[in-house]
């Protein structure tokens, strides 16, 4: 009997890896949060009050996004990626398209 060498594996919901651990973990968390968001599409895209939708987002989606974040040492780019994901959830919740931005003419 022997132990197999692997690049990374998941243990208790977190990726254990020696290389690029935090980037892999953030990618996994963002992906899982979006899956959960779309699984509850009837809530977030339904006719509930915005306050109720925000409470659901904060109670159900954001914890998925930040699970295990206490152990991460983030770079500015990684922190920005988490904030970007959160803002994308909020825009989707409010039905605001990113392409709807008004660009300043130079």
Q: What is the pLDDT of residues 30-44, one digit of tens each?
A: 999 999 999 999 999
Q: Domain map of the chain by residue range?
A: 8-100
pTM exceeds 0.85, yes or no: no
81 within 8 A of 28, measured Cβ to Cβ: no
pLDDT at 50 over 90: yes
The answer to whether residue 59 scores a pLDDT higher than 90 is yes
Q: Does the CA dihedral 5-64-86-76 come out positive or negative? A: negative
pLDDT band at 95 (very low <50, low <70, confident <90, very high): confident
Which pairs count as long-range contacts for 34-37, CB under 8 Å and 24+ apart, including other chains? Answer: 36/60, 36/61, 36/64, 37/61, 37/89, 37/92
Query: Over pLDDT 70: what percentage of the chain?
Result: 93
What is the token pair recorded at 79? 């922190």
Q: Report which of residues 15 and 91 the model is more confident about.
A: 91
How far is it, in rounded angstroms, from Cα 33 to Cα 31?
5
The confidence score (pLDDT) of residue 14 equals 79
């Amino acid at each position: 009997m022997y132990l197999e060498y692997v690049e990374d594996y998941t243990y208790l919901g977190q990726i254990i890896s020696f290389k690029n651990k935090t980037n892999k973990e953030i990618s996994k968390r963002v992906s899982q949060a979006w899956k959960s968001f779309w699984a509850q599409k009837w809530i977030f895209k339904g006719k509930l009050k915005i306050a109720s939708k925000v409470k659901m987002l904060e109670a159900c989606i954001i914890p998925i996004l930040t699970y295990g974040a206490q152990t991460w040492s983030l770079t500015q780019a990684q922190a920005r990626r988490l904030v970007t994901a959160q803002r994308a959830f909020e825009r989707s919740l409010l039905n605001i398209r990113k392409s709807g931005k008004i660009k300043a003419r130079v």
